[in-house]
Structure 1
Amino acid sequence: MTPKPAYQALFLGAGPQMQCGVGQFTRLLSETVEKLGPGGTTTLTLTRTEGSVTEIWRAVGSARNVICNFPIVAWKRVIFRPLLALAMAQLRRRRVILIQHEWAGLHWLRRITYIPALLLADTIVTFSALVRRELACDPMVGFTAKKCVLAPLPPNIEAPPGIADSELRHRLVAARGEGRLVIGHFGSIYPSKQPNALLGIGAALKARGRAPLIVYVGSFIRGVDNVEHEFYARAAELGLSGDVIVSGYVASDHEVFGLFTAIDAFCYPLQEGLTARRSSILTCVQSGRPVIVTGPAEPDEFDHHPRFKELINRGAIILVARGSDDDAYAERIVSALKRPSVQAPFDFDGWWQDVAQAVRAQF
C-alpha cells in the first residue's frame, strides 16, 4: 500500500547558495506558507552535488504538491536536478506548481531552459498580467498560458530597524552636501531594466545644471549579453563617466538601506512599463524616497495586486507616461523632490501572507 504523503508541499531549494534573489524568494515563500499551516511543508536541497535520484524520488513522494521557483538559484548553477524532480512529481502524480517571474525579458537561451518546467507544470504562478500575455504569445509554449494564475508579488527585502554605514554612503552624503542630485537605481543590472535609459535622463538633468550623480545599487548580471561594456560606453558618450557609480554586490540589507538614505530619488525608465513583478521597486518604496517609473502598458496590470496599486494611488510610486522623453523624466524627478517626503508604514509580513495564500490556494 502506498503511504499517504506527509506534507502538503515540497519546496525545491538550493541550500546556502540561495542568497541570490531567486533563492531568497523561495526561502521567504516557504517560511510564510509554513507559518500559515505549521508542519505542512518541507524542503529538498538540490545543488550540483546534493540531491541524488533516490533522495529526489523519496522527497517528491512525501508531499502532495511540488513547488519550484525555477531556476532555483542563479542561472547556470543548478538546472538538471529541479527538472528531474518535476518529472518525478508527474510520474508520482504529485501536483507541480511552477513560479514564473518573467518571460519575454529573458534571453532566448534562458527561455529554452524554462520550457521543460513549463510543460511539466500543472499550475504556473506568475506575478504580472503582462508576463502572462507574453507567454501566451510565444509560438512554442503559448498554450501553457492557460495554466497561469496571478499572485501578488512582495519585496524580497524588508527595511531593517537600523542602517549600516559604508565608504560609498559617505561618498554619496558628501556629494549631496556639494549640491549634487543623487538618483538611485536598485537591483541587478540587466537589459530588460534598461539601465542605459537612465543615463539619458542623467544627461538631461546635467543639461539643466542639476549636477546629477547616478548610483546603481547592485551589480551587472553575468551572461551572454555585453551589458556592462555597452553601459560604460554609453556613459562616456553622454559625458557622464564621472557622474555614474555602480556599487557592485552589497553585503547586507542594513548597508543597502544605508545607501538609500543618501539617495534623493529613484528612477526606472522601463520599455515594457511598470509591471507588478518589479520587486526591486517595492524595496525602494520602503526608503520613503520618491520612485519615478514608466507607466504600465495595460490598465489591468495591478488589478490582482491592491497593495501595489495603493502605492501608486498615494504617490509613493510616480508614473511617467509611456513614450515620454528624457526631459519629461527629468522634470518629474525635479517636481517630485519639491513635495514633502512622507514614509508610510509598510506591512512586509502582510505582503508575504498575500502571496503565500495565493500559492496555497493551488494545493
Structure 2
Amino acid sequence: MPSPQPSPPPSVVIFGSARPVTCAVMDYSRRLCDAINAQRPGFIAMRMIEPNQPAGFVRAIAEVLRRDQVAHFQLPVEGWGNAILPGSALLAARLLSRKGRIAVTLHEWASLNRLRYLSMIPDVLATDGFIFVSPQQRESFLRTSLVSDRKKQAAPVIPIGPNIMPARIDPERVAEERVKTRGSGATEAEIVIGYFGVLYASKRPDMLLRVIRALHERGTRARLLICGDFLWDKPKDREAFFALARELGVIDWLDFRGRIDDEGELMAALSAADVFLLPFTDGISTRRGSFQAISQLAVPLVSTRPERPDEFDLSPSLKAKIDNPATVLCPIDATPDAFAEAILRANAHKAEAIGIDLAKSWDDAATAHLAFYDRLMAANRKA
C-alpha cells in the first residue's frame, strides 16, 4: 500500500506573537485563517514567534521567504509592543532572501504613537504589499513617503469580521447574567453599561468610569460591566484603573470580568448590558473588532463619531447599526456628562435597537484576501 503523500506546504504564513497577549489582532488572525482555509484548504497557516529570541524570529521569516511563500504580518500586534526587533525582523529576513513576498496588514496607522511608528519603519520599507481594514487608515497611509505610489495605490481596504459570533447565546444564561449583573440591595443597578474589548489609551478606560460617576450624579444607579482586560505588559494601567474607580466612588458599581475566552459565556454576559459604551479617541470605525462584536446584539450603543463620513460605505450592515435610533454618537471631545446624557437617550430607544448579521463578513474577507495573495504571488513570479 503506497504511503500517503505529504500535504503541500501553505502558500501564506501569518506570523503572530507567541506571548500571551490580550490583543484582538491575534483573534482576528485565527478567524481569518479559518475562513481562508474553508475556501482553499491548506492555503494559509499561522506561526507564532517569540520576540525575545531574535535569531529564531528572523530565521523563521527567512525560511518562509526562501520557500517562495508569502510572509504576512498583522501590525501592530500588542505582544510585540514598541520593541525595535519586531519592527525590523522583516527587513532582516529580506536581506537573507530575495525570494518570496512580504505582506503587512496595518490595523492602525493614522493614530500610531511616535515610538510605535518609528519601530515599524524598517518592516514597512521591506513590505511588498499592504492591506488596510479601514478607509481612514488607508487614507492616512497614502500621505507617507516611506513607500512607492505603486504600493500605496495597490493597497486594498478589506474590512475585518467580528472576532466573536453570537451563535451560541443561551436565553436562560442571559437571564441569569442580568440578575447577577444588576445586583441587589443598596447596590442594585437601574442600568448596566457594557464594554467589550482590550483596554488601552485610545479606548479611554478612565472615561468609562467617569461616565458611571456622571450617571450617578444624575440620580441614575449605573453599573459598568467590562468584558476585556488591559494589555499583559501594562500592569500599571490596570492598577491605575481600579485606583481611579475607588477615587471616583464607583468601585462598588464595577463588574470587571476580564477576558472571557468561551464565546457562549462572553455573549451571554454582554447580552446582559442595557447600553454599550465605546468612547474611542479616533472615532468609531470598521477596524474596531469590539464594535463589530457588539453590533450583532440588539443592544443600544453609544460611541464617538467616525472621522470620515464614508467610513461605513463598504459595510451596509454596520452602517445600519450606526444609523439606528438606539445608536447615539458623540463628539470625540465629549464630556462624561455628555456621554451620560447620550446613554440615557440611547436607552430610551432600547425597543428599536437592532443586532446585525455579520456571518458573511468572514467569507467576504477571505475572498478579498485570496485575490490579494494571488496578485502578490503573480507579481513574484514575474519578478
Could you say which TM-score interval applies, normalised by the shorter chain?
A: 0.7 to 0.9
Offset of residue 315 of structure 1? 4.6
Cα 1:161–1:280 change in 2 (3 A) is same
In the other structure, the counterpart of 2:5 is none
Partner deviation per Cα, 1:113-133 (whole Å, 9 max, x = no partner): 322221111222121233234
TM value normalised by structure 1: 0.82
- Residue 204 of structure 2 corresponds to residue 158 of structure 1: no
Counterparts of residues 48-87 of structure 1 (less than 5 Å): 56-70=61-75, 74-75=79-80, 80=85, 84=89, 87=92
Equivalence for 1:21: 24
User: Separation in 2 of the partners of 1:183 and 1:123?
Assistant: 41
Give the SS at the match of 1:74.
helix
The DSSP-based 3-state class of the residue aligned with 1:10 is strand
Of 291, 297, 301, which residue of structure 2 is paired with 1:281? Answer: 291
Deviations 1:130-171 (A, max 9, x none): 323444566878988556431112111112414568998763
Counterpart code for 1:100: L
Partner of 1:347: 358
Residues 250-297 of structure 1, C-alpha deviations (whole Å, 9 max, x = no match): 242222112113211111222321122111011112232111111112
Q: Which residue of 2 aligns with 1:92?
A: 98
CA distance in 2, matches of 1:62, 1:219: 38
Q: Residue 360 of structure 1 corresponds to which residue in structure 2?
A: 370
Deviates more, 1:135-144 or 1:54-63: 135-144
- SS of the equivalent of 1:205 reads helix
Identify the residue that residue 33 of structure 2 maps to in structure 1: 30
Distance 1:345 1:310, change over 3 A: closer
- After superposition, what is the alpha-carbon deviation per residue over 1:69-111, rounded to whole angstroms, capped at 9, x for unaligned? 1356723599857954565457333222101111354443333
Distance 1:103 1:249 in 2: 26
Structure-1 separation of matches of 2:235 and 2:22: 23
Matched position secondary structure for 2:79: coil
Determine the structure 1 residue equivalent to 2:378. Answer: none
Q: Which amino acid aligns with 2:281?
A: Q
Q: CA deviation at 1:359?
A: 2.0
Q: 1:233 and 1:45 mapped to 2: Cα distance?
A: 35
Letter in 2 for 1:35: A
Judged with a 3 Å threshold, the aligned counterparts in structure 2 of structure 1 residues 212 and 83 are, in CA distance, closer, same or farther, namely same
Structure 2 SS opposite 1:254: helix
1:171 partner amino acid: K
- Residue 183 of structure 1, CA deviation: 0.5
In 2, Cα distance between equivalents of 1:290 and 1:242: 24
Note closer, same or farther for the CA distance 1:316–1:282 as it changes in structure 2 (3 Å cut): farther
Distance between the aligned counterparts of 2:43 and 2:146, measured in 1? 36
Structure 2, unmatched stretches of 5+, are 1-7, 374-383
Which segment is superposed worse, 291-300 or 234-243? 234-243
What residue number does 1:311 align with?
321
Matches of 1:282 and 1:95, distance apart in 2: 30
Task: Evaluate the alpha carbon distance shift between residue 88 and residue 111 of structure 1 in structure 2; reply closer, same or farther with a 3 A threshold.
Answer: same
Distance across 2 between alignment mates of 1:29 and 1:273: 24
Structure 2 Cα separation of the partners of residues 276 and 42 of structure 1:
25
SS at match of 1:117: helix
Identify the range of structure 1 (127-136 vs 81-90) with the bigger mean alpha-carbon deviation: 81-90
1:123 pairs with 2:129:
yes
Q: C-alpha offsets along residues 240-259 of structure 1, whole Å, 9 cap, x if unaligned?
A: 23322322232422221121
Unpaired segments ≥5 residues, structure 1: none
Report the identity percentage: 27
Map 1:116-195 to 2 at 5 A: 116-135=122-141, 148-163=155-170, 171-175=180-184, 178-195=188-205
Task: Tell me the matched-pair count.
Answer: 358
> What displacement does 1:12 show?
2.4
Partner Cα separation in structure 2 for residue 267 and residue 315 of structure 1: 15
TM-score (norm 2): 0.78
Q: Is 2:64–2:100's contact at 8 Å kept on the other side of the alignment? A: no
Q: Secondary structure at the match of 1:214?
A: strand
Answer with 208-217 or 112-121: which moved more.
112-121
The whole-number CA distance in structure 2 between the counterparts of 1:241 and 1:179 is 13
Query: Shift in Å at residue 190 of structure 1?
Result: 0.4
Partner of 1:212 in structure 2? Answer: 222
Change in 2 beyond 3 A, CA 1:122/1:224:
same
The equivalent position to 1:221 in structure 2, one of 189, 207, 231, is 231
Match for 2:310: what amino acid? D
Higher share in helix? 2
In structure 1, C-alpha distance between the alignment counterparts of 2:249 and 2:22, rounded to whole Å? 36
* TM-superposition CA deviations, 1:221-243 (whole Å, max 9, x none): 24469533443444344332332
